[in-house]
Amino acid sequence: MRVSSTALALVWCAAILAAAMPVWGQRTSKPGLLAGANAASVIQSVLSAPTLVDYEGTKIVTAVRGEQAETVTILESYKRFGKLRLEFLSPESTSGRLIVDDGASSWHYEPSLHVVIRGPSFVTTSTRTDAEAILKRYDARVLGSEQVIGRQTLVLELLPKTRRLTRRLWVDQATGVVLRTEERSQSGELLFSSFFSRISYSLNLPSALFRFHLPAGAKIFTFYLSGDPIQDLQELSRQAKFAVKAPGTLGGVYTFQSGTIARHGALMAVSLLYSDGVNIVSLYETPSSKMAFPALGTSLVMRSGRGRWLDLGYFRVVIWESGGISFAILGTLPAESLVAMAEELNAVKP
Amino acid sequence: MGHARLERQLSAYIDNELTADDTQQVRAHLETCVGCREELQRLEHVKRLLGSLPERAPVPQVFEELRQQIISQAPRESGSVLEAISNAFRRPALAFAAAAIVVLLIAFPLVKGRIDRLRAAEVGPDVFVREHALSAVADPFADRAYVGLLVTDANLALIGEPRSRGGSLR
């Protein structure tokens, strides 16, 4: 009887382990096990989500700026196709801020100043990018599945060929909505994270939620983007009245998309857009005779001369002067990647 | 209206050149002022006498003489303009004002250019961040809520009311 009770205990242990194995295996599945087609289908579900589902939830975003981190809590509501409402809850400096975007224009209301600023929409439901195009530029793999706020998600890792920035997305298996995001530098340092602490899906959120009502007596400003995209560099230089430096690629993978002449008050700058198929890097050029060297951020030593470094949390900016032109390069890339691009650009002849 | 002023208007009254109100006032005054009534009678008499005179055509050489006078005065007029300018510069206040205007006209573009250059440096980074954020939404994995925060922060900076950013030490 003694032997048989031990054997029974062993059998029970074996049964429990056997039952637990699939769950354990699923939660800690090794990279590559669900790669390939699965990664493509997860990416496709993320791309399709904005056309399939309405939701409203509370999002907590943390962006790291140098030695500081700022956490922002936002009530985010989304309605198909491309309607967005953001109500900022904290910190105090953003509390009460409202953004209503109807897919064509956005309205920003700042209650502490009682001003409304109208501008272009920043919501896109464009399906120009497809999963295959992303997979050509990125190594994507499904790391496994995890529960996020009680919902089953697939953890997708997107690793650009340059390995400069790693993104992990926790994608709701049922809806394709990204419930959690993390961006890390090449050295593994966390640069950005966001997650929903609560979300509820809806088949149809009321349209009235995405209609902006102008508060009585509010002062209105209108800031739209200036200029149409120009692909021809000669035309861009002609309009800018100086020789624009625009290499075909930056950092090996970011290819030139288009340029515009950006204007705001006394400022005139050439804006050049580069993309690796997903991620965007912007380059701005303006003659030093037309713009003094900005005295913000921290000093930066570059081979070409003086530079400034500005960390906004999600975006990082490098500003420098070379050959009578002030340059600024912006992106979500880590500092060293942007500085390398700046040095690469300095070597290019206009 | 006083007596002296009404008396001066009698000639215009006879010629029906006054407004209805003024005519009424002159009539009311004439009823009470003997002196003005006598003056009115004198003026009417003179007008009748002048009206009875025959019209005479001017002699032809009058026009020729007038033309000669006009021609002879023309260069003198342009000379007088130059003379007026020259006289103006002899007055220190006028000369100073003119010099100040010239200096302002030359200095204004230079000062404005300098102010514009400084202003461009002030707004430049915010414009760049805003435009980049609006372009970055092409990235299908970009966090729109945080992009919204960056766009609206840049909006506030561009209207001269930048947000005082918090943040805790890591």
Q: What is the pLDDT of residues A274-297, one digit of tens each?
A: 998 888 999 999 999 889 888 888
Cβ A86–B163 below 8 Å, yes or no?
Answer: no
Cβ A126–B123 below 8 Å, yes or no?
Answer: no
| Cβ within 8 Å of A, B 98-157 | 115-125, 127-141, 143-152, 155-156
Nearest CA in chain B to A134: B140
User: A246 versus A58: which is more confidently predicted?
Assistant: A58
Cβ B138–A108 below 8 Å, yes or no?
Answer: no
- Bridge partners for A62 per DSSP: A71, A193
At which of A171, A189, A220 does a domain end? A220
- Give the tens place of pLDDT for each residue, A176-204: 999 999 999 888 888 899 999 999 998 78
- Whether residue B154 is contained in a domain is answered as no
Q: Is A218 helix (H, G, I), strand (E, B) or coil?
A: coil
- Whether residue A225 is contained in a domain is answered as no
- Nearest Cα to Cα of residue A272 among A287, A290, A262, A284: A284
Pair (A274, A139) in one structural domain? no
ipTM over 0.90: no
DSSP string, B40-89: HHHHHHHHHHHHHSPP-PPPTHHHHHHHHHHHHHHHHHHHHHHHHHHHHH
- Whether residue B76 is contained in a domain is answered as no
Residues A241, A234 contacting (CB under 8 angstroms): no
pLDDT at A170: 97
Nearest CA in chain B to A77: B145
- Nearest Cα to Cα of residue A92 among A76, A123, A62, A70: A70
Pair (A68, A152) in one structural domain? yes
- Nearest Cα to Cα of residue A179 among A158, A162, A194, A157: A194
Pair (A204, A308) in one structural domain? no
Residues spanned by the domain of B12: 3-52
Q: Does A92 touch chain B (CB under 8 A)?
A: yes
A2 pLDDT above the threshold of 60: no
Pair (A259, A215) in one structural domain? no
pLDDT at B136: 86
| Cβ within 8 Å of B, A 196-235 | 221, 223, 225
Pair (A340, A264) in one structural domain? yes
A6 pLDDT above the threshold of 80: no
pLDDT at A174: 92
Q: Which residue shows structure tokens 């701005």?
A: A284
At which of A220, A249, A276 does a domain end? A220
- Mutant choice from A71, A315, A317 vs B, greatest count of B C-beta within 10 A: A315
Q: Does B64 touch chain A (CB under 8 A)?
A: no
Pair (A247, A212) in one structural domain? no
Quick one: what percent of chain A has pLDDT higher than 70? 87
pTM value is: 0.71
Torsion sign (Cα): A64, A66, A68, A70: negative
User: A46 versus A336: which is more confidently predicted?
Assistant: A46
A35 pLDDT above the threshold of 50: no
- Whether residue A119 is contained in a domain is answered as yes
Half-sphere exposure of B44 (CA within 13 A, CB side): 9
Residues of chain A found within 8 Å of residue B137, distances taken between Cβ atoms: 122-124
Q: Which of A125-129, A340-344, B164-168 has the lowest mean pLDDT?
A: B164-168
- Whether residue A5 is contained in a domain is answered as no
Helix, strand and coil in chain B, % to nearest 5:
80, 0, 20
- Whether residue A25 is contained in a domain is answered as no
Residues A170, A64 contacting (CB under 8 angstroms): no
Q: Count how many pairs of residues, chain A against chain B, have C-beta atoms within 8 Å.
A: 196
pLDDT at A149: 96
- Whether residue A17 is contained in a domain is answered as no
State the CATH number of the domain containing residue A278. Answer: 3.40.1000.20
pLDDT at A350: 62
- Whether residue A281 is contained in a domain is answered as yes
User: A170 versus A165: which is more confidently predicted?
Assistant: A170
Cβ A99–B148 below 8 Å, yes or no?
Answer: yes
pLDDT at A97: 97
Q: What parts of chain B have a pLDDT lower than 50?
A: 167-170
A19 pLDDT above the threshold of 70: no
- Whether residue A226 is contained in a domain is answered as no
- Mutant choice from B112, B130, B149, B158 vs A, greatest count of A C-beta within 10 A: B149
Helix B92-136 vs helix B144-158: crossing angle, to nearest 10: 180
State the CATH number of the domain containing residue A180. Answer: 2.50.20.10
A349 pLDDT above the threshold of 80: no
- Whether residue B35 is contained in a domain is answered as yes
Token couple for B44: 């009417």
DSSP state of B152: H
pLDDT at B4: 83
A110 pLDDT above the threshold of 90: yes
At which of A159, A191, A220 does a domain end? A220
- Give the tens place of pLDDT for each residue, A147-163: 999 999 999 999 987 77
- Whether residue B152 is contained in a domain is answered as no
Query: What CA–CA distance (Å, rounded) separates A158 from B119?
Result: 40
- Mutant choice from A122, A193, A221, A285 vs B, greatest count of B C-beta within 10 A: A122
Pair (A58, A137) in one structural domain? yes
A298-303 average pLDDT score? 84
A307 pLDDT above the threshold of 50: yes
Cβ B139–A169 below 8 Å, yes or no?
Answer: no
pLDDT band at A73 (very low <50, low <70, confident <90, very high): very high
Count CB neighbours of A19 within 10 A: 9
A80 pLDDT above the threshold of 50: yes
Pair (A54, A86) in one structural domain? yes
Pair (A44, A154) in one structural domain? yes
Q: With residue A199 as reference, give the H or E element that holds it.
A: strand A190-202
Residues spanned by the domain of A87: 37-220
A179 by Cβ neighbours in 10 Å (0-12 / 13-18 / 19+) ranks as buried
Q: How many domains does chain A have?
A: 2
Residues ≥6 apart with Cβ < 8 Å to B152: A97, A99, A108, A110, A117
Q: Is B97 helix (H, G, I), strand (E, B) or coil?
A: helix
The size of chain A, in residues, is 350
Pair (A306, A210) in one structural domain? no
Pair (A303, A271) in one structural domain? yes
Token couple for A73: 């809590």
Q: How many domains does chain B have?
A: 1
Cβ A192–B146 below 8 Å, yes or no?
Answer: yes
pLDDT at A206: 94
- Give the tens place of pLDDT for each residue, B51-74: 888 888 878 788 888 888 888 876
pLDDT at B121: 84
- Whether residue B14 is contained in a domain is answered as yes
- Whether residue B113 is contained in a domain is answered as no
Q: With residue A148 as reference, give the H or E element that holds it.
A: strand A138-148
- Mutant choice from A86, A121, A293 vs B, greatest count of B C-beta within 10 A: A86
> Could you give phi then psi for residue A29, rounded to 5 degrees?
-55, 140
Cβ B166–A46 below 8 Å, yes or no?
Answer: no
Token couple for A169: 């997305």
pLDDT at A17: 42
Token couple for A176: 């394709």
Q: How far is CA A105 from CA A212, B116, B157, in A?
A: 10, 30, 20
Cβ A110–B125 below 8 Å, yes or no?
Answer: no
pLDDT at A31: 40
